[in-house]
């Protein structure tokens, strides 16, 4: 029956009908719905599509810049002077405008360009030496000859003034040796110094071209002319690229850093807001419920708010990693700006201090998930616990809203003061009131007052907790903690009873949340003071010349020649798109004590020690990779060095496949395979757009250049917005330049000159597929050599990097342990002095925290490449590795939490307070110093796990995780009143609660970590087999094992035995 004919049956129905809208209102609503359902206009759809691309003004400027440099070189080649000078080497100019990646920030670009000039010069010098050896080898076999003139049986004219001669086996053999040598050196450099990937590619291109034409010269005059033209072509491309990079929409590293800092502040805002939403959800949701275990072995929180919060924090971690890399380049840059290098360092240090406790907020969901089993043990207790949490979170709603709003305003003030965000337009004075707004002069005072108000609201939360648990506190209890109060029955039973322990955990969790928000507020206040100080000193009011100091430039120069730097390649434009992180682990990790040699004692032994570096180098993974690449390159290059195929090799452009092998192989099979597919996809896309650009304008040169410029924008968009696909985008730009550039070169020079280098002429519809075929051939050969003679799989690298992460975690814990000890003994010294113990430990701790975070994030990224690894044998235990990575991140978070909590003791002492609070804090610190709550055994355990994973050695039997120190019980034994409810409002009590939570869950995660490593590498089995001689008839061994527990781990039987050895003496 229709709804309009429904008769009212109760009061609610009558009320509904009474409130039924009129016909006019109904028509109005229907018209609005119809308008809402109307199809969007073409303009709105285009606008929506444009928005989805993410192209804003800055992005388009970058795309324009990337497409401009090769277009300039292509257009310049249409002039007769340019074309006659470079002749058939014009394509190299275009390539050398693409490879330097002009869209990089200025300091990164100039560093890359400096190394590129050095490497290309070195490649030209070595190539000239190689050509000399080739010419000498030819003369030794055939005698002096007149310069070759090209023609039948030769590869034609390599370039103007460099006519080639006939085939000579000796020269070809020497060319093969020099090609192998150069590709080996270049590949070793690529493996050892990943930041020089682009300069190494340029070296490889020059080496390949020189060794292709070198064996066909019979005089050094020809060779010198060829190398000179080669070098000039490269440097001309560099000049165009440098001009475009520095003059067209210039982008400095400082601008990138400030943009990253604005994004950092925005990420902090998003994370704090997501945390508040999660806290609100706890008023109704069950905090102890987690989702089912997912496919990678994690148990994520069921709450959608908690998932969003964790996603925001993952984004914050990525922004932090990138900003730390950008900071190094921003500090080295010469620029016109306002803040100096030390000011940038101070801003980053303060932002990092805010980020650490913000990251610790995410541990709440993990803590609730970890206590799910205990909470579900008794359904009645579980329901009561959930209801208590709902009441507590309602008590906390108003204070949490207030402190979150204060923190967000503080972050806004920082962004406005540092000129990272515009100041909002002032509203009407009456509507805004007298409260200072972010960006105002008096905001810092207002912020401090609002932060202290949250501290006072802590008493409201504690009273609410006491009321829930039947603790009746007098009105003046927090100002007079010695006052009497009515203790409930559960408190009178003693502090070691189970109800007492459970309720104390609940109190600690409340104090945990409150402590972190207070800590974040304090650190935001520190950054506000720094920003206001910059403004007060006039640093933000005028620009000046910023020049890095001598010490900083010296460190930069040293960093050019070693790999002791940390990089985050997830958005680096000069990498090969592998999204990998490079972390320097320190000399202690890589340089181990030699168990077979004592330290050298005299000059001869020192000389021998240096001599041993040679075999050590050839045993390294970098040398192994270089050997593979050199063999793969020569597998194709040998075709151009044989008599019957040399002309065919040049004519059909097989050297393109040879060059692709040299530049496309990666140290692991998974990365190589992924890179190969990306380059094939990029080449295919370039083939299609080349045809479109050629034919869409009826083959007119001007229209071809215009559409070439337009289509290059698409590849530039991929490099900017999808940096993971940089290899495909870059090879797409190069391929399109080669196809279109060659066809226009033929138009300018004529077919006779264009084919004088031995390369046959093909129309554009044939040249594109030939280019694709050569790339496919080169990629296939390269893939074969990632598996031959043995594969370097992604699995192997993930395991080794897991061991590295465990090593860094052990190192971080060791530094954290010493830091906590110094703070408790108040022996940090003057923190403003760089040579004080506390300042040195802080620097080491922060550096290790960044390294460990970077390494763990790199592990997550590297795990994504496992999909590209061809599985052979048993399945890779990816779920176990993912669980271990998650545990390590959790341990790192809780370790940093303990560090933050211990720092608060020092800050509370410096801030002062009431006499009673300081007296309690002094007594508490004295007792805690006597009852140390960190253990050096954790460092030992983590180092042992690292060594076991790295070397694939089984763990020793009966390995135990150090038990967490019973600090509460110990302190109760020393002073039964120190942790009573009388002191729950003391500032240091919350710090103690955080330390207790941190140490407890470090222990829980360590136990899971040890079990996970045992599943990977196994455990040693020391069972005994005893042969008795009492009975001559018994010849077999007899096991005397009382209990045996064994299981199979991926085909490997791992036994864990408890055994007793029985010793039987011979019969008398």
At residue 975, the pLDDT reads: 46
- Residue 329: how many other CB atoms lie within 10 Å: 21
Asked if pLDDT for residue 383 goes beyond 80, the answer is no
* Selection from 171, 178, 175, 162 nearest residue 136 by Cα: 171
pLDDT tens per residue across span 537-562: 989 988 899 988 888 888 888 877 77
pLDDT band at 408 (very low <50, low <70, confident <90, very high): very high
Rounded average pLDDT over 836-849 = 86
**Helices 253-281 and 341-360: angle between axes, nearest 10 degrees:** 20
Rounded average pLDDT over 297-314 = 74
CA dihedral 960, 961, 962, 965 (to 10 degrees): -130
Better-predicted residue by pLDDT, 420 or 913: 420
Listing DSSP states for 101-125 in one string gives -TTS-HHHHHHHHHHHHHHHHHHHH
Q: Which of 257-266, 550-559, 672-681 has the lowest mean pLDDT?
A: 550-559
pLDDT band at 985 (very low <50, low <70, confident <90, very high): low
Q: Which of 147-151, 399-403, 1046-1050 has the lowest mean pLDDT?
A: 1046-1050
Share of the chain above pLDDT 90, in %: 31
Tell me how far the alpha carbon of residue 43 is from its chain's centroid. 39
At residue 1031, the pLDDT reads: 53
Q: Which of 258-262, 274-278, 475-479, 543-547 has the lowest mean pLDDT?
A: 475-479
Cα 637 to Cα 154, 223, 231, 632, 661: the distances in Å are 17, 19, 22, 9, 10
Rounded average pLDDT over 285-293 = 60
Highest mean pLDDT among 3-7, 489-493, 1005-1009, 1056-1060: 1005-1009
Q: Which of 58-67, 825-834, 998-1007 has the lowest mean pLDDT?
A: 825-834
Report the mean per-residue pLDDT for the chain: 79
At residue 817, the pLDDT reads: 84
Taking the C-alpha atoms of residue 553 and residue 331, their distance in angstroms, rounded to an integer, is 10
Rounded average pLDDT over 754-761 = 82
pLDDT band at 697 (very low <50, low <70, confident <90, very high): confident
Q: Which of 242-246, 569-573, 706-710, 780-784 has the lowest mean pLDDT?
A: 569-573
At residue 478, the pLDDT reads: 64
Sign for the CA dihedral angle at 417, 422, 425, 431 comes to negative
Asked if pLDDT for residue 499 goes beyond 50, the answer is yes
Q: Which of 334-338, 410-414, 422-426, 574-578 has the lowest mean pLDDT?
A: 574-578
Tell me how far the alpha carbon of residue 815 is from its chain's centroid. 23
pLDDT tens per residue across span 997-1032: 888 888 889 999 999 999 999 888 776 555 555 555
Asked if pLDDT for residue 376 goes beyond 60, the answer is no
Better-predicted residue by pLDDT, 458 or 172: 172
Better-predicted residue by pLDDT, 314 or 914: 314
Both tokens of residue 1057?
Answer: 């035995």
Better-predicted residue by pLDDT, 20 or 587: 587
Both tokens of residue 848?
Answer: 């290790």
Better-predicted residue by pLDDT, 48 or 12: 48
Sign for the CA dihedral angle at 789, 792, 793, 796 comes to positive
Q: Which residues pair with 66 in a beta bridge?
A: none
Taking the C-alpha atoms of residue 524 and residue 269, their distance in angstroms, rounded to an integer, is 12
Q: Which of 156-165, 505-514, 799-808 has the lowest mean pLDDT?
A: 156-165
Given the structure tokens 């050895």, which residue do they identify? 1061
At residue 734, the pLDDT reads: 93
Residue 490 · residue 504 · CB < 8 Å? no
Rounded average pLDDT over 940-946 = 92
pLDDT band at 34 (very low <50, low <70, confident <90, very high): very low
Pairing of strands 335-337, 544-546: antiparallel
Q: Which residues pair with 163 in a beta bridge?
A: 157
At residue 6, the pLDDT reads: 40
Asked if pLDDT for residue 246 goes beyond 90, the answer is yes
At residue 914, the pLDDT reads: 54
At residue 1000, the pLDDT reads: 83
Highest mean pLDDT among 154-158, 382-386, 683-687, 980-984: 683-687
* pTM of full prediction above 0.75: yes
pLDDT band at 1050 (very low <50, low <70, confident <90, very high): very low
pLDDT tens per residue across span 1058-1068: 444 434 444 43
At residue 708, the pLDDT reads: 95
At residue 351, the pLDDT reads: 93
At residue 293, the pLDDT reads: 44
Rounded average pLDDT over 841-858 = 86
pLDDT band at 599 (very low <50, low <70, confident <90, very high): confident
Better-predicted residue by pLDDT, 29 or 212: 212
Residue 437 · residue 552 · CB < 8 Å? no
Element (H, E) at 1049: strand 1041-1049
Instruction: Count Cα neighbours of 585 within 13 Å in the Cβ-side half-sphere.
Output: 20
Given the structure tokens 């061809």, which residue do they identify? 870
């Amino acid at each position: 029956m229709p709804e309009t004919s429904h008769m009212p049956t109760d009061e609610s129905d009558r009320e509904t009908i009474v409130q039924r809208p009129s016909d006019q209102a109904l028509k109005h609503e229907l018209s609005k719905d119809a308008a809402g359902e109307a199809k969007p206009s073409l303009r709105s759809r285009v606008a929506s599509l444009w928005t989805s691309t993410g192209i804003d003004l800055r992005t388009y400027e970058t795309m324009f810049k990337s497409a401009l440099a090769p277009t300039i070189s292509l257009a310049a080649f249409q002039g007769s002077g340019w074309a006659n000078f470079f002749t058939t080497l014009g394509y190299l100019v275009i390539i050398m405008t693409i490879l330097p990646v002009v869209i990089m920030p200025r300091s990164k670009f100039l560093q890359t360009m400096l190394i590129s000039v050095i490497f290309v010069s070195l490649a030209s010098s070595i190539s000239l030496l190689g050509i000399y050896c080739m010419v000498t080898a030819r003369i030794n076999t055939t005698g002096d000859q007149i310069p070759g003139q090209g023609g039948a049986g030769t590869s034609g004219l390599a370039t103007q003034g460099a006519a080639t001669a006939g085939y000579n086996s000796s020269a070809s053999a020497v060319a093969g040796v020099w090609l192998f040598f150069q590709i080996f050196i270049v590949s070793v450099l690529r493996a050892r110094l990943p930041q020089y990937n682009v300069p190494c590619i340029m070296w490889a291109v020059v080496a390949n071209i020189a060794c292709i034409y070198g064996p066909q010269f019979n005089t050094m005059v020809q060779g010198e002319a060829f190398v000179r033209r080669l070098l000039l072509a490269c440097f001309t491309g560099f000049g165009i690229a440098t001009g475009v990079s520095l003059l067209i929409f210039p982008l400095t590293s400082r601008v990138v850093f400030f943009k990253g800092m604005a994004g950092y502040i925005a990420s902090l805002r998003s994370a704090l807001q997501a945390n508040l939403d999660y806290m609100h959800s706890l008023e109704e949701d069950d905090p102890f419920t987690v989702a089912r275990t997912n496919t990678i072995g994690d148990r994520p929180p069921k709450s959608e708010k908690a998932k969003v919060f964790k996603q925001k924090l993952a984004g914050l971690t990525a922004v932090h990693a990138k900003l730390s890399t950008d900071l190094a380049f921003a500090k080295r840059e010469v620029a016109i700006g306002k803040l100096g290098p030390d000011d940038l360092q101070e801003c980053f240090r303060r932002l990092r201090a805010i980020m650490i406790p913000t990251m610790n907020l995410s541990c709440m969901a993990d803590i609730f998930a970890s206590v799910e089993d205990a909470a579900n043990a008794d359904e009645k207790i579980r329901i009561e616990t959930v209801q208590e949490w709902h009441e507590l979170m309602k008590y906390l709603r108003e204070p949490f809203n207030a402190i979150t709003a204060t923190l967000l305003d503080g972050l806004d003030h920082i962004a406005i003061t540092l000129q990272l965000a515009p100041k909002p337009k002032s509203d009407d004075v009456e509507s805004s009131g007298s409260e200072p707004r972010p960006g105002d002069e008096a905001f810092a005072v207002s912020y401090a007052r609002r932060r202290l108000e949250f501290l006072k609201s802590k008493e409201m939360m504690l009273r609410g907790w006491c009321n829930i648990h039947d603790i009746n506190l007098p009105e003046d209890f927090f100002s007079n903690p010695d006052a009497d109060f009515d203790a409930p029955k559960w408190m009178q039973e003693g502090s070691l009873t189970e109800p007492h322990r459970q309720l104390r955990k609940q109190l600690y969790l409340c104090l945990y949340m409150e402590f972190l928000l207070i800590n974040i507020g304090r650190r935001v206040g520190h950054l506000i003071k720094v920003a206001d100080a910059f403004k007060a000193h006039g640093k933000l009011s005028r620009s000046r010349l910023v020049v890095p100091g001598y010490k900083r430039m010296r460190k930069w120069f040293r960093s050019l020649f070693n790999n002791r730097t940390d990089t985050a390649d997830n958005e680096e434009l000069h990498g090969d798109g592998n999204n990998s992180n490079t972390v320097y682990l320190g000399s202690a990790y890589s340089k181990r004590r030699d168990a077979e040699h004592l330290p050298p004692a005299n000059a001869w032994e020192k000389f021998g020690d240096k001599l041993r570096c040679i075999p050590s180098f050839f045993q390294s993974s970098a040398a192994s990779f270089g050997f593979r690449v050199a063999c793969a390159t020569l597998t194709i290059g040998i075709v151009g060095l044989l008599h019957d195929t040399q002309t065919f090799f040049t004519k059909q452009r097989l050297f393109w496949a040879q060059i692709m092998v040299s530049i496309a192989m990666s140290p692991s099979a998974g990365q190589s395979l992924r890179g190969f597919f990306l380059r094939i996809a990029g080449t295919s896309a370039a083939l299609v757009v080349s045809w479109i650009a050629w034919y869409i304008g009826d083959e007119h040169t001007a229209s071809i250049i215009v559409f070439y410029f337009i289509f290059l924008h698409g590849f530039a968009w991929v490099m900017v917005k999808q940096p993971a696909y940089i290899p495909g985008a870059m090879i797409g730009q190069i391929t399109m330049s080669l196809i279109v550039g060659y066809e226009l070169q033929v138009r300018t020079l004529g077919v006779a000159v264009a084919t004088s280098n031995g390369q046959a002429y093909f129309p554009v519809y044939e040249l594109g597929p030939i280019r694709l075929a050569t790339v496919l051939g080169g990629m296939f050969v390269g893939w074969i050599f990632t598996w031959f003679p043995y594969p370097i799989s992604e699995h192997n690298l993930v395991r080794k990097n897991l061991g590295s992460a465990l090593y860094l975690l052990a190192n971080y814990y060791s530094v954290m342990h010493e830091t906590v000890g110094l703070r408790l003994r108040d022996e940090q010294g003057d923190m403003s002095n760089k040579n004080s113990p506390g300042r040195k430990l802080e620097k080491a701790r922060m550096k290790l925290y960044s390294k460990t975070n970077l390494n763990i994030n790199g592990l997550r990224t590297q795990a994504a490449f496992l999909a590209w690894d061809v599985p052979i044998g048993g399945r890779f235990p990816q779920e176990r590795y993912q669980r271990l990575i998650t545990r390590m991140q959790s341990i790192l978070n809780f370790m940093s939490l303990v560090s933050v909590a211990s720092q608060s003791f020092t800050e509370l002492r410096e801030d002062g307070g009431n006499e009673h609070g300081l007296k309690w804090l002094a007594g508490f610190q004295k007792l805690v110093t006597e009852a140390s709550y960190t253990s050096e055994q954790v460092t030992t355990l983590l180092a042992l796990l690292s060594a076991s994973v790295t070397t694939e050695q089984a763990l020793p039997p009966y390995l135990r995780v150090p038990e967490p120190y019973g600090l509460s019980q110990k302190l109760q034994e020393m002073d039964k009143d120190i942790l009573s409810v009388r002191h729950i409002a003391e500032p240091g009590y919350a710090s103690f609660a955080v330390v207790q939570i941190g140490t407890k869950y470090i222990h829980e995660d360590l136990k899971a970590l040890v079990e996970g490593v045992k599943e990977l590498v196994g455990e040693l089995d020391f069972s005994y087999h005893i042969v008795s001689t009492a009975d001559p008839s018994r010849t077999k061994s007899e096991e005397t094992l009382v209990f045996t527990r064994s299981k199979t781990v991926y085909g490997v039987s791992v036994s864990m035995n408890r055994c007793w050895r029985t010793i039987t003496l011979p019969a008398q």
